[in-house]
Amino acid sequence: MGKATGFIEYLRELPVDRAPIERVHDWKEFHHHLDEKHLRNQAARCMDCGVPFCHTGTLISGMASGCPINNLIPEWNDLIYRGQWRDALERLSQTNNFPDFTGRVCPAPCEGSCVLGINAPPVTIKTIEAAIVDRGWDQGWIFPEPPSARTGRKVAVVGSGPAGLAAAAQLNRAGHMVTVLEREDRPGGLLMYGIPNMKLDKRDVVMRRIELMEKEGITFRCNTHVGQNIEAMLLLKEFDATVICTGATQARELSVQGRALGGVHLAMEYLTASTKAILRGEPNDTPISAADRDVIVIGGGDTGTDCVGTAMRQGCRSLTQIEILPRPPMERAENNPWPEWPLIYRLDYAQEEAAAKFGEDPRVYLRTVKQLNGDAAGRVQSLTTVQISWRKDPNGRLVPEEVAGSEQQIAAQLVLLAMGFTGPEQPLLEALGLQADARSNIRAEHGRFATNIPGVFAAGDCRRGQSLVVWAINEGRGAARECDRYLMGSTELP
């Protein structure tokens, strides 16, 4: 590496975000970049470790350790240290079709497995990645690159989230004619409607990339719901191959009394409605609003966090986020060693905003909801929660147990269910005759991605279950490679 002692000389430094109290009044992205001098110093902290776990992309204890798309992180860190930005962009683009997305929304498992992180703050990999691709756009280094020749093969990609876009980009690169089918009114899937605008700008980031893909020859057909307004079996007739990338959009439900009350919504209903209002230029004109309401978010993951951030911008009166698990420790526990993903307490952007306004982290731990209580008009007014303790059952599995006498009433006029997803929606699978695994995901072996129907492949959350954007990109690229092999007999796709 260019600076062998950089990890000793420079401390970890992140760009200063916009102030929480300021940013909750708009829907703009809140991250800034470091200037070039500081970015080069941060890149210099990459320590020539010799065992770069940061780009291994393996699963340890069920969680990603290192980058699932195997980004060549030490290489482009060295290039940034040397000021060779365009070369760094070339290295980054070899493994990642969409660093403008991952540099904003990826939780950075690469940093969790950084060797420097064993006994010091890890390298700011995600910050550097975002800076590389944004400079690439600013300098005009990213431009349409349509394939030099076409194969004459036609491929349908169902779903335009990160897996679908990655599959489409790679298949188009191989020379196939690619049509992406999206049931929503805009392409992007999770990137468009599942992640709010302040984390990932829709016009300046998502649509910029999609418009580039269109100029490279990819066709996007929106408002096309396969199995409803287009017959599923037509895919097998009209296209030489199909890649299913529909995501794991079946939300986990809350089965308690009062679920049917007005004002109780699934998180994705809420986030989608909010983003559509923003794209119309009328962010306050949304059918599900937190304005002047006591808001309860049930679920502590990324989707729950995004609900918190959205409710803050809509002007909620109060906010509570309920998490059934215990609060994580401040530092790694003994049973969570490096290079596993560190399960530690973090104050994410939305909780930081809520704490700035209301005085404390909005999350309450080790609680669950017993019932939702409504008024005479059938709208939710409060919910009853109970404290939870975890114990091992006879099979050694941890199970939740209610603590007697711990019931508590919390006011709520808007309740958002963000408890994760159980798998893909089943009608498309049934219409095509796709086999499912024991978890209701499409049955297709990782690495091959082939379903039980010849010429039909599956990738992303619909195959592996709810996961990270980087895993979706990994799978989209892998499915494209195997689809190309199926169509041509061999493949040069990575």
pLDDT value at 466 more than 90 = yes
pLDDT in tens, 207-233: 999 999 999 999 999 999 998 888 999
What is the per-residue pLDDT for 228? 87
Fold held by 253-419? FAD/NAD(P)-binding domain (3.50.50)
pTM metric for this prediction: 0.96
User: pLDDT tier at 41 (50, 70, 90 boundaries)?
Assistant: very high
Closest residue by Cα to residue 116 from 197, 44, 34: 44
When mean pLDDT is compared across 44-58, 135-149, 208-222, the lowest value belongs to 44-58
Q: Are the beta carbons of 367 and 388 closer than 8 angstroms?
A: yes
Domains 6-139 and 253-419 are alike in CATH topology: no
What is the per-residue pLDDT for 48? 85
User: pLDDT tier at 114 (50, 70, 90 boundaries)?
Assistant: very high
Domain 154-249+422-488 carries which CATH code? Answer: 3.50.50.60
User: pLDDT tier at 1 (50, 70, 90 boundaries)?
Assistant: low
pLDDT value at 32 more than 70 = yes
Q: Dmax over Cα atoms in the chain, in whole Å?
A: 71
Q: Which residues contact 318 (CB under 8 A, 6 or more apart)?
A: 294, 295, 358, 411
Query: What does the block give as tokens for 368?
Result: 């669950």
pLDDT value at 112 more than 90 = yes
pLDDT value at 2 more than 80 = no
> What is the average pLDDT score of the chain?
96
The arithmetic mean of pLDDT across residues 165-173, rounded, is: 98
Per-domain boundaries in the chain = 6-139, 154-249+422-488, 253-419
pLDDT value at 285 more than 90 = yes
* Amino acid symbol at 462: C
Q: Are the beta carbons of 424 and 161 closer than 8 angstroms?
A: no
What is the per-residue pLDDT for 382? 98
DSSP character string of 415-433: EEE---EEE--HHHHHHHT
Give the rounded percent of residues in the chain with a pLDDT score beyond 90: 93
What is the per-residue pLDDT for 227? 86
**What is the architecture, at CATH level 2, of domain 6-139?**
Orthogonal Bundle (1.10)
pLDDT in tens, 433-446: 999 999 999 999 99
